[in-house]
Amino acid sequence: MTAATSDEGAAVPVTIRDVARASGVHISTVSRTFSAPHLVNPETRVRVLACAEDLGYRPNRAARALITGRTHNIGLIIADIANPFFPPLIKAAESQARHRDYHVFVADTNEDPTAEEELVHALAKQVDGVLLCSPRMSNSLIEQLSREVPLVVVNRQVTGLPCVLMDVGQGARAAIEHLVGLGHTRIALLGGPRSSWTNREMRRAAATAARAGGAELTLLGPNAPTETGGSAVAEQVRRSGVSAVLAYNDLMAIGLIEGLDALGVRVPQEVSVVGVDDIALSRLTRPKLTTVATPTAAAGRTAVDMLLQQDTESPRGTRGLGAGTALGVRRTTAQVMLQTDLVIRDSTGPGPQARPARPLAASLGPDPHCPAGPGTATAATGDAVAS
Amino acid sequence: MTAATSDEGAAVPVTIRDVARASGVHISTVSRTFSAPHLVNPETRVRVLACAEDLGYRPNRAARALITGRTHNIGLIIADIANPFFPPLIKAAESQARHRDYHVFVADTNEDPTAEEELVHALAKQVDGVLLCSPRMSNSLIEQLSREVPLVVVNRQVTGLPCVLMDVGQGARAAIEHLVGLGHTRIALLGGPRSSWTNREMRRAAATAARAGGAELTLLGPNAPTETGGSAVAEQVRRSGVSAVLAYNDLMAIGLIEGLDALGVRVPQEVSVVGVDDIALSRLTRPKLTTVATPTAAAGRTAVDMLLQQDTESPRGTRGLGAGTALGVRRTTAQVMLQTDLVIRDSTGPGPQARPARPLAASLGPDPHCPAGPGTATAATGDAVAS
DNA sequence: TACTTCACTGCAAACCTTTGCAGGATCACC
DNA sequence: GGTGATCCTGCAAAGGTTTGCAGTGAAGTA
């Protein structure tokens, strides 16, 4: 209703000055009306607010950020938005941020380390901090970038920086033990991206667990952490003669099952498959996927909390300090490890030892084993465990 | 290597002034070195660049935006990042933007119209324009917001605003004709969100096509456009006695198939199901989903192009003009309609007429029909058709 | 030599907001 | 009536950058 809401197409930018003029006060009073209302007379306040509403005034967040050093934005950099692993993390981060009056900007790097670096630079001055999820760049580069903007790293351990980790080592161990318990003695590990911390952790833990269980572990990879990455190695899996596979993530596991199916190899009758992540999709495929559930939502929430905490500790561009902390004392660098849980569904079954003769196995019926019914194990609780 | 790269934890913000001091020139020369290099002496330029590199200087984009009125950012607001329909669109938009030296910030609204509005405001001064994908708010609110920041709308027709539309009407028609051709005479339409433009278009087109084909169309909905939204209506579908269903999107279709399966109703033997979107997942389910493929990537690209074109037309905050265009002449408001394609896979089969007696149908074997083999029809070309 | 042209650089205003400081008015209290 | 406190508001600097304008010196031209 009125002046500025005329139907001109182009946006006429209305500033604090226009509001000041319209309501007959100084611009500083208008500013305070928005950023410190208790400091201004209630009468004046309503008048200013009315004028602002009338003119369609919105504080310019860029200008505000310039002087306060606070944008109230968080950057969220992820490797691949098409990977269903990330959306729950993103949503949890967003909701947590919203509670604290922050907004989240998501950016996708297409698994490209160069894009990662560039995006951190681009975001640096437009956000108060960046969440780096499953980064593909080097630790040293991450450390270097952390001097430009506060960083919280997810799914990667960087000394000196706050990290949110998921205990995929424990998950891989549980998966291998599950497979060994089913009678599998030759197991393959489908590796993910070479630069992935998760990948290394899984490999280490799986190797230890296999050795302890007396099973032989074959390493296949690195591979693209996608469905096609999984289906591409189906032939290799078949030739390798293993009876069970632990895949880097659910997407690869699903792709592998598809690929094996195309080769006439049946899951879980001939080969058992375990994934990691417990994405929504893993409950929709046939067979339903046995997988290591990772607490993605909890990770998103925790990461935001850590960033905002670190952020409020050093307000206003951190002018003063710096010299005092020269000798590596740095800021708080808590690292949080979240627990994972093995969810047993239908893609794993008895190994060669425990199995009857081959031809029979193929016609066992729709529900070949199911130790405790599909989807019994609960999703990860995501309890935080400081380390 | 040097001064600023000391190992203090806190980021000491280095500005254009520091670089100027270090290289012995005025700040304006430093500025030009970055924003208009051809205006500065090559020797000076290398010196300045060396100093900048040395100090770790990065232009402050917020400050730059404040004065130029250009942020080189694009906002992308979507209803639900967990819906696999969106990632291809996001990725295409990002890649297109990157080519034009823009960055994309994605924000998720959780299908909440209030969050949508709030996000537009929050983004307004931090981006040069916003892509509004499948908005849930009212047309009038969209028009109002478009005065605050340039907008391009995807999957919604708003007069006076640039829009990128997908011809779901044509898609729904093709789907109904396909089903009628298979002998189905009682078909249900699983509706999506009430406020969705796509939903209305589909309903209209499906109704017309059904009437033309002599089939009876039952409307079920509105429903949440998710997998659970689909599985929730399985019982209702069974009771309704229809032999075929066209779902609002693939997620619902897949959920419905799951739900029907749980009730012992087999797809496509007893009920045929068609989805919309052709998300990657639709090729992974059993049965593989017959669906209307929408050109999501092309939509993302096109939307960015339209935004940037509109953007470059009116540089620098559009100070001058405005009065001249008062009478609804506005800026260019091209609307683009992208084509869709029906992809026939395994979730649709012959209707009751064409079928043998009921009891037999249940044991027909794995591949009941397959008119032309799975996945024959090609994905949508996405040719733009101005309208 | 005088004049023009050119390439380069410095100056200062501008963008929009926040905020420390100080001034003015009002009020209570002694 | 004087003192102090309290509440509200204005002033002006600051934040980091861009950019029109003007100035400098050198090279080119007549």
Same domain, B291 and B310: no
Q: Which residue of A has its CA nearest to B91?
A: A108
Same domain, B211 and B258: yes
In tens, the pLDDT along A198-243 reads 999 999 999 999 999 999 999 998 999 999 999 999 999 999 999 9
3-class SS of residue B337:
strand
Residue B151's H or E segment, with its range, is strand B151-154
B126 close to A (CB below 8 A): yes
Same domain, A48 and A85: no
Within-domain flag for A64: no
CA A161 / C1′ C12 distance in Å: 43
Within-domain flag for A387: no
- Residue B236: other Cβ atoms inside 10 A: 16
CATH of the domain at B240: 3.40.50.2300
Residues of B in contact with A160 (CB under 8 A): 9
pLDDT for position A206: 98
In chain B, residues 161-200 whose CB comes closer than 8 Å to chain A: none
In chain A, residues 199-238 whose CB comes closer than 8 Å to chain B: 227
Q: What is the mean pLDDT of residues A317-330?
A: 31
Residue of A284, A288, A296, A316 for testing the chain B interface, max B β-carbons within 10 Å: A284
Same domain, A229 and A362: yes
Amino acid at residue number B124:
A
Same domain, A126 and A176: no
Amino acid at residue number B381:
T
Whether B105 and A107 lie within 8 Å, measured CB to CB: yes
A168 band by pLDDT with thresholds 50, 70 and 90: very high
Residue of A125, A151, A332 for testing the chain B interface, max B β-carbons within 10 Å: A125
Whether B106 and A110 lie within 8 Å, measured CB to CB: no
3-state secondary structure chain A: CCHHHCCCCCCCCCCHHHHHHHHCCCHHHHHHHHHCHHHCCHHHHHHHHHHHHHHCCCCCHHHHHHHHCCCCEEEEEECCCCCCCHHHHHHHHHHHHHHCCCEEEEEECCCCHHHHHHHHHHHHCCCCCEEEECCCCCHHHHHHHCCCCCEEEECCCCCCCCEEEECHHHHHHHHHHHHHHCCCCEEEEECCCCCCHHHHHHHHHHHHHHHHHCCEEEEECCCCCCHHHHHCCHHHHHHHCCCEEEECCHHHHHHHHHHHHHCCCCCCCCCEEEEEECCHHHHCCCCCCEEEECCHHHHHHHHHHHHHHHHHHCCHHHCCCCHHHCCCCCCCCCEEEECCEEECCCCCCCCCCCCCCHHHHCCCCCCCCCCCCCCCCCCCCCCEEEC
Task: State which residues form the domain around B54.
Answer: 3-59
Q: What is the mean pLDDT of residues B172-190?
A: 98
Residue B290's H or E segment, with its range, is strand B290-293
Within-domain flag for A180: yes
Judge whether residue B42 contacts strand C, using its CB and a 7 Å cut-off: yes
Whether B10 and A286 lie within 8 Å, measured CB to CB: no
Within-domain flag for B344: yes
Residue of B130, B260, B267, B284 for testing the chain A interface, max A β-carbons within 10 Å: B284
Q: Which nucleotides of D are covered by protein (CB under 7 A)?
A: 7-12, 14-20
Q: Which nucleotides of C are covered by protein (CB under 7 A)?
A: 7-12, 14-20
* Whole-number Å distance between alpha carbons of A297 and B304: 31
Same domain, A308 and A262: no
In tens, the pLDDT along B306-346 reads 999 876 654 333 332 222 222 233 345 689 999 999 999 99
B286 band by pLDDT with thresholds 50, 70 and 90: confident
Whether B126 and A325 lie within 8 Å, measured CB to CB: no
How is residue B164 written in tokens?
């990128």
B81 closest CB neighbour out of A91, A148, A326: A91
Q: Is the pLDDT of residue A140 over 90?
A: yes
* Whole-number Å distance between alpha carbons of B150 and B14: 33
pLDDT for position B101: 86
In tens, the pLDDT along B130-154 reads 999 999 999 999 999 998 899 999 9
Same domain, B37 and B186: no
Count of domains in chain B? 3
How is residue A286 written in tokens?
């046939």
CA B28 / C1′ D21 distance in Å: 13
Handedness of CA B12, B17, B20, B24 (dihedral sign): negative
Amino acid at residue number A80:
D
Within-domain flag for A372: yes
For the ranges A79-83, A176-180, A356-360, the lowest mean pLDDT is seen at A356-360
Same domain, A352 and A245: yes
CATH of the domain at B55: 1.10.260.40
Q: Is the pLDDT of residue A100 over 60?
A: yes
Same domain, A358 and A236: yes
Q: Are strands A163-166 and A290-293 parallel, antiparallel or unpaired?
A: unpaired
Q: What is the mean pLDDT of residues B250-269?
A: 96
A68 close to B (CB below 8 A): no
Q: Is the pLDDT of residue A385 over 50?
A: no
A96, A305 in Cβ contact below 8 A? yes
Same domain, A192 and A263: yes
* Whole-number Å distance between alpha carbons of B337 and B387: 7
Beta-sheet strands, E only, within B19-141: 73-78, 103-108, 130-133
Residues of B in contact with A12 (CB under 8 A): 318, 322
Same domain, B127 and B158: yes
Distance from the B243 Cα atom to the nearest Cα atom in chain A, whole angstroms: 23
A103 closest CB neighbour out of B95, B122, B325: B122
CA A47 to chain centre: 46
Span between the terminal Cα atoms of chain A, in Å: 58
Within-domain flag for B97: yes
Within-domain flag for A75: yes
Q: Is the pLDDT of residue A361 over 80?
A: no
Within-domain flag for B7: yes
Judge whether residue A114 contacts strand C, using its CB and a 7 Å cut-off: no
Same domain, A95 and A181: no
* Whole-number Å distance between alpha carbons of B78 and A94: 13
Distance from the A183 Cα atom to the nearest Cα atom in chain B, whole angstroms: 29
Q: Is the pLDDT of residue B377 over 70?
A: no
B292, B201 in Cβ contact below 8 A? no
Distance from the B244 Cα atom to the nearest Cα atom in chain A, whole angstroms: 21
Q: What is the mean pLDDT of residues B60-87?
A: 92
